[in-house]
Amino acid sequence: MNEVMATLAKEHTQVTFVQLEAEAVPEVSEKYEISSVPTFLFFKNSQKVDRLDGAHAPELTKKVQRHASSTSVPAGSNDSAKEDLNVRLKKLINAAPCMLFMKGSPKEPRCGFSKQMVEILNKHGISFSSFDIFSDEEVRQGLKTYSNWPTYPQLYVAGELIGGLDIIKELEASGELDTVCPKAQKLEDRLKSLINKAPVMLFMKGNKQVRLPKYFATLKQLLSLVPLLNKNQWFWEVIFFLFGASVRNRRAVSVLSDCNIYS
């Protein structure tokens, strides 16, 4: 799907494409109910207007084409175009607490400097999202002027430019990198926080939109009949594990709780 997105980005330069790792931004995943990967969210004027769950290239292409055509506007003045680009760049820079603008992706960096940057961030367990500058030439050129920084990769934290590879290496050598960049929450800590999120937690397969197996529906009904829960003295929540969701997370829950059965 990365290749599909890269192709769509080249065809629809007026559309901004941002790729985030769901585990790196759990608050975003929770807000938009991301229960499987990949999930594609469509925004217009900062409002979510559509979504697509799963790796369906033809459907993704249709949705991008439809929404891109609805956002087409007549060409304005150079000043207006520059202002629009600056708005896009600001949104991109603030898309995640830590944003890396690089050549390629963290899994497939397309230059040595970007590869080194990713290795350093991963070595220190830093939580970051990335943007492939090859996917959008306007962003690639505009960000150089916007931040007055002529080369890539570029690392931003909380919307502020930290610098390129040389600066990151200096911060690493001085021991400051760990205090400047946000750390990725350890999986075990995330699982513990999920388990303790409510007095009663149910980990199960399925979600609110997918029809649940009969035994799960029955279990949910039984729990709803517990007097203490109905009187709002306790709260219970359901964490849905889709069949196509992160196997790593499911296995981790099994190890942490010493139970490997969800059904």
| Tally of CB atoms within 10 A around 227 | 8
| Whole-structure pTM value | 0.50
User: What is the rounded CA–CA span in Å between residue 262 and residue 241?
Assistant: 9
Residue-range domains of the chain with CATH:
2-180 (3.40.30.10), 187-257 (no CATH)
- Residue in the block written with tokens 């931004």: 25
Tens digit of pLDDT per residue, the chain (263 long)?
888 888 888 888 888 888 888 777 787 888 888 878 889 999 887 788 888 888 888 899 888 888 887 654 454 545 556 668 899 999 999 999 999 999 999 999 999 999 999 999 999 989 899 999 988 888 999 999 999 999 999 999 999 999 999 999 999 999 999 999 887 656 676 677 777 777 767 666 655 444 455 555 555 555 554 555 555 544 545 555 444 444 445 555 555 555 555 54
Strand order in the sheet with 154-157: 129-132, 98-102, 154-157, 160-163
Cβ atoms of 98 and 181 closer than 8 Å: yes
Grouping H, G, I as helix, E, B as strand and the rest as coil, residue 235 is coil
